[in-house]
Structure 1
Amino acid sequence: MTRTRLLAALVMTPLAIAAILLLPTPWMVALGAVILLAGLWEWFDLAEIEDTLARTVLLVAHLALMVAIVWASRTGTGYTLVLFQMAAVAGVVWWLLALLWLGRYGFASDHAGYARAFKLAAGALATIPAWCALAWIHYAPPNGHRWLLTALAVVWAADTGAYFAGRRFGRRKLAPRVSPNKTVEGLIGGAVAGVAAGAVFALVAGAKPAQLPAVALVALATVLFSVVGDLFESLLKRHAGVKDSGHLIPGHGGILDRIDGVLAALPAFALGKAVMGF
């Protein structure tokens, strides 16, 4: 499994980096929408929306909201980021509230209509703010494309660090009922790797050495939010009784399995970057 994961990562990572660095923001935002909506389609499955027509209508509604945000953000000279920023802040608030849901494992765990409604609302609050944060980071000068790469590098490094640290040193379970394989040691290893990656990539993005403590703090917060996103998807999979959200990516499961942490991390990084001023 490790070899398969590594091979898949070796294929996906260069493509992702090339897209982030080379695509202009409108195209990057469009590509981000495609990937996030693909993950949302799998989220509908975890929310037990089995009817294809219903899932298609829901997906089109989310796409329409994205288009409406872009349309309403037009100005005479370009675009304003206000709506994107507001949505990203809403995403941060949502993921903080998601901690309460994680603390109550049984909430919305049955198959009633209200449970599906809560999970669909959670899907919207996860996907739209993450997409808005992606646009905010990539569009904001200077070097927005490099800062988006920095945000994603933090998540990727944290995921890799947590995986190997957990396998080597993992003893204490982090959230055994939600995700039995995650450990406190893995979390620590992921945090160290994520902060280190954040510092290195931030320098490439143009951060000054004096800004590195602020970058490290934001990177740490980004890692912790990514863990919340990962755990929340694990909770949904537990409720649905499945191991993976899909089978599209060898060794990694579905699209949602790859972007669950990113959904929570991007709003946190975007807001932290704005607050810290780097």
Structure 2
Amino acid sequence: MLFQRILTALVLLPLVISGVLYLSTPVLAFLFGGILLLGAAEWMKFAMLEGAGEKALFLVSVLLGMVGAYLLLQVPGSAYWLFLASSFMWLLITLAIVRYQPERSPVPGRFTKSLLGILVLVPAWAALISLHGYSEDGPLLLLFAMSLTWVADSGAYFAGRQWGRVKLAPLISPGKTREGVYGALAGVTLWGGLLAWLRPEIGVPYLIVLFCLLACVISLVGDLFESMLKRQAGIKDSGNILPGHGGVLDRLDSLTAVAPVFMFGLLLLGGGR
């Protein structure tokens, strides 16, 4: 499993980095749209949709949501409110995870889970595209946002395997440990410190590190949220398209949470550009 995980990462990372750095924003929007539609197909397992009609309606709704988000982003100032709303939704999801108790927490129905899928996937796609086209440094900003989730995930994975003892959220994801979280936080702290050292013009070092730590926490929330949905649906992975990683959503669960929050923070610091 570890060998497959590393091999898949070695194949995908150069492709992702090259695409982000060298493709135009419209082309990347199309490619990301296709990837997130694959994620939407996996989300149908979470929502336990039945029949071709329900599944087709969901996929069309996600696609129309992307078109609507693209049109909305053409309106000056609308991006700020879109990503504010998405960040607020992730705050509510965080509270729901903290308070989660299987015997007391109601399991959302198919419609609610389908709506959640749209509210998770569409803003994530819009944030990825907005980050890439934000400025001349947009591709680097997008890569940095992505790298935060990679570093957090890798830190949690290896620290958890080596030292993991105390369960983090056994009712949601029995495999995750507090030691894994510490590994993720340590990795992201070092990554943020390296960024502050290499690019001191970006801002005050401790603020950069704090921002990276916030992204790490949001990354964890995205991971736990998918784990909760998989547990409710009675499945282990969202899919099997990526050897060693599972499905598309197993690889993008953290990024779907981090991207809109990261973009909102960028807009907030930039005065709602």
| TM exceeding 0.5 | yes
Q: What residue in structure 1 maps to residue 223 of structure 2?
A: 230
* Runs of 5+ unmatched residues, structure 1: 75-79
Q: 1:256 and 1:48 mapped to 2: Cα distance?
A: 16
Is the 8 Å Cα contact of residues 84 and 135 (structure 1) preserved in structure 2? no
**Does 2:199 correspond to 1:216?**
no
Shift of 1:202: 6.5
Alignment of 1:51-130 (within 5 A): 51-74=51-74, 80=75, 82-102=77-97, 103-106=99-102, 107-109=105-107, 115-130=109-124
User: Which of 87-96 and 245-254 deviates more?
Assistant: 87-96
With over 3 angstroms needed to count, the CA separation of the structure-2 counterparts of 1:70 and 1:161, relative to structure 1, is: same
Q: 1:81 and 1:47 mapped to 2: Cα distance?
A: 34
With over 3 angstroms needed to count, the CA separation of the structure-2 counterparts of 1:274 and 1:11, relative to structure 1, is: same
Q: What residue in structure 1 maps to residue 166 of structure 2?
A: 172
Q: 1:90 and 1:124 mapped to 2: Cα distance?
A: 13
2:186 to 150, 170, 192: 192
**Does 2:142 correspond to 1:148?**
yes
Q: What residue in structure 2 maps to residue 244 of structure 1?
A: 237
1:134 to 118, 128, 136: 128
User: Which of 28-37 and 137-146 deviates more?
Assistant: 28-37
Q: 2:240 and 2:203 mapped to 1: Cα distance?
A: 44
For residue 242 of structure 2, give the secondary structure of its aligned residue in structure 1: coil
Deviations 1:179-209 (A, max 9, x none): 01111111111112123324445676x5616
Deviations 1:231-258 (A, max 9, x none): 0100011111111011111111111100
* Runs of 5+ unmatched residues, structure 2: none
For residue 104 of structure 1, give the secondary structure of its aligned residue in structure 2: coil
With over 3 angstroms needed to count, the CA separation of the structure-2 counterparts of 1:183 and 1:146, relative to structure 1, is: same
With over 3 angstroms needed to count, the CA separation of the structure-2 counterparts of 1:143 and 1:51, relative to structure 1, is: same
CA RMSD of aligned residues (A): 2.0
Is the 8 Å Cα contact of residues 84 and 129 (structure 1) preserved in structure 2? no
For residue 141 of structure 1, give the secondary structure of its aligned residue in structure 2: coil
With over 3 angstroms needed to count, the CA separation of the structure-2 counterparts of 1:195 and 1:81, relative to structure 1, is: farther
Q: What residue in structure 1 maps to residue 154 of structure 2?
A: 160
Amino acid at match of 1:100: L
For residue 109 of structure 2, give the secondary structure of its aligned residue in structure 1: helix
Deviations 1:148-177 (A, max 9, x none): 000000100110010001111112111011
With over 3 angstroms needed to count, the CA separation of the structure-2 counterparts of 1:200 and 1:235, relative to structure 1, is: same
Q: What residue in structure 2 maps to residue 24 of structure 1?
A: 24
Q: What residue in structure 2 maps to residue 260 of structure 1?
A: 253
User: Which of 25-34 and 225-234 deviates more?
Assistant: 25-34
With over 3 angstroms needed to count, the CA separation of the structure-2 counterparts of 1:202 and 1:68, relative to structure 1, is: farther
For residue 246 of structure 1, give the secondary structure of its aligned residue in structure 2: coil
Q: 2:202 and 2:135 mapped to 1: Cα distance?
A: 19
Amino acid at match of 2:26: P
With over 3 angstroms needed to count, the CA separation of the structure-2 counterparts of 1:210 and 1:48, relative to structure 1, is: closer
Is the 8 Å Cα contact of residues 90 and 257 (structure 2) preserved in structure 1? yes
With over 3 angstroms needed to count, the CA separation of the structure-2 counterparts of 1:87 and 1:214, relative to structure 1, is: same
With over 3 angstroms needed to count, the CA separation of the structure-2 counterparts of 1:13 and 1:89, relative to structure 1, is: same
* Structure 1 outlier segments of 4+, above 6 Å: none
Q: 1:222 and 1:65 mapped to 2: Cα distance?
A: 25
With over 3 angstroms needed to count, the CA separation of the structure-2 counterparts of 1:33 and 1:105, relative to structure 1, is: farther
**Does 2:44 correspond to 1:44?**
yes
